[in-house]
Structure 1
């Protein structure tokens, strides 16, 4: 999820505890935001951002450290700080749980594992969850004037959010079952949810030298907007496939391929992109490499 949605979710969930347990409420909001502070790794460059984002601050290691600190603070007689820490770890659990439903993967088991996990249930920016959260926040603010009402509203909001996630999991499972019935290996198929409609999914079938892109209705099973894309990885210059940008993107997505090549008198230009993520016609991760007639790199443009 994007950091704005995380912050709104934390705020609505914490509204009911603000008067009775203010430290916990503050921690809950902070915990829904703090993991994404790893985005500041962007100051060290694009590769550092992709390497560190959704890793250490999204891990059981980080959450275990905060939870341990809360227990210590409780033992030494610092209840307010302990309550803040418990709110922080609860918010972090909410944050990481929602990020797991997205697509690029969370290294949530660090330090026990460096593997990224992604469920592909919900896109990073989701209109349904955002609208539901904003509506719940407005209702709690306007119509729940007492502490008990706000607490009930926040609890109802969290329960509803869990229900939305479970429904999206069911829709994603249904969509995958439909696409995988074609007989292609599961690892050659990608199914990514869309932003505006919970029932719509972006499908990519990777068949070696060609990929087939389509939009799937997860309820009816109907696919539309079929598009064929040539994969030009074979024969691609090692100056491209051994570059840091290419290897970083391939670690994030096996569907990252060279898809366009334009010849010129003094060389050629190669465009590589992740065929899975097509929401908003994004070019995130797209790598454009200009090569001279000797296959030496003249320039690179990496859109991260």
Structure 2
């Protein structure tokens, strides 16, 4: 989800419930998980830090909780300083801290609805989880959020408008959820939504290959493309390099990974991202590992 939607998703219910005083704190909580968008300078040059990326550490339950605690402590300390305190209309109480945490957890819940998923259980696991409803940010919800922002800026966003936004917001989620359920029921493997709500990319995994097909809600499945998992290499050899940080990073970002031995190198790649079937994440879609490095490791 986009930042406007994350902010409105918590602010509007609080306003309608008469808790306007908590809105600034809840909005802070709702947007701070996306601070990881600036973490690229931490992870780009060091593969072992791949979890420090957008949709990474701050998008886990533990990470969002720790970030919320840090934000609460920072705001509380600032509010005790006389010069900064004038900008806080109310004391930063534990209720404000709970609002920050609620906003952050709602952010995690909304991002759980979308591909490519988030590492909910970090630090225990870096596996990504997703309900698989959206292909990332939802364009219809973004449009609704921008429309609401325009109404707010022009002072035309009363209770009726806010209620209408929530109805549209929930309706879009239910529609996309219904389309995803239908697509997964009609196809094998998993159906990944695209920017077109009526079109999916399905991935069926076998022991030796990935079978990829487009699926259209109106026209059904299209022609399949087969990607071999292993070419001139064995699964055991691939398992032998699985713990290399750069390999872990590739798997973390990828939808599928194929492996091929080419001379003195092992080539790992996510063909779906290389071929722009999926355009996010853009980086780290392939990897070349010299065989000598695998032997020395």
Structure 1 length-normalised TM: 0.69
SS class of match (1:123):
coil
CA distance in structure 2 between the aligned counterparts of 1:273 and 1:113, rounded to whole angstroms: 21
1:47-196 correspondence runs (5 A): 47=47, 49-52=49-52, 53-55=55-57, 58-59=60-61, 62-63=64-65, 80-82=91-93, 84-108=96-120, 116-142=128-154, 144=156, 149-180=157-188, 189-195=189-195
Q: 1:199 to 1:167 in 2, by over 3 A?
A: same
Q: Which residue of 1 aligns with 2:43?
A: 45
Deviation at 1:110, TM superposition (A): 6.0
Alignment gaps of 5+ in structure 1: 181-188, 299-304
1:136-285 correspondence runs (5 A): 136-142=148-154, 144=156, 149-180=157-188, 189-195=189-195, 197-217=196-216, 219-220=217-218, 222-232=220-230, 234-235=233-234, 237=237, 240-250=241-251, 255-258=256-259, 267-268=264-265, 270-273=267-270, 275=272, 278-280=277-279, 283-285=282-284
Q: CA RMSD in A?
A: 3.9
- 8 A contact 2:210–2:256 mirrored in 1: no
CA distance in structure 2 between the aligned counterparts of 1:99 and 1:281, rounded to whole angstroms: 14
Deviation at 1:244, TM superposition (A): 1.9
Alignment gaps of 5+ in structure 2: 77-88
CA distance in structure 1 between the aligned counterparts of 2:178 and 2:243, rounded to whole angstroms: 39
CA distance in structure 2 between the aligned counterparts of 1:212 and 1:29, rounded to whole angstroms: 42
Matched, 1:296 2:296: no
Deviation at 1:253, TM superposition (A): 5.8
Between structures 1 and 2, the one with greater strand share: 1
Superposed CA deviations along residues 266-300 of structure 1, whole A, max 9, x for unmatched, are x4562411648832386544122053xxx2249xx
Alignment partner for residue 14 of structure 1, among 11, 15, 34?
A: 11
Q: 1:139 to 1:56 in 2, by over 3 A?
A: closer
Deviation at 1:193, TM superposition (A): 1.0
Number of aligned residues: 266
- 8 A contact 1:122–1:168 mirrored in 2: yes
CA distance in structure 2 between the aligned counterparts of 1:111 and 1:207, rounded to whole angstroms: 30
Structure 2 length-normalised TM: 0.70
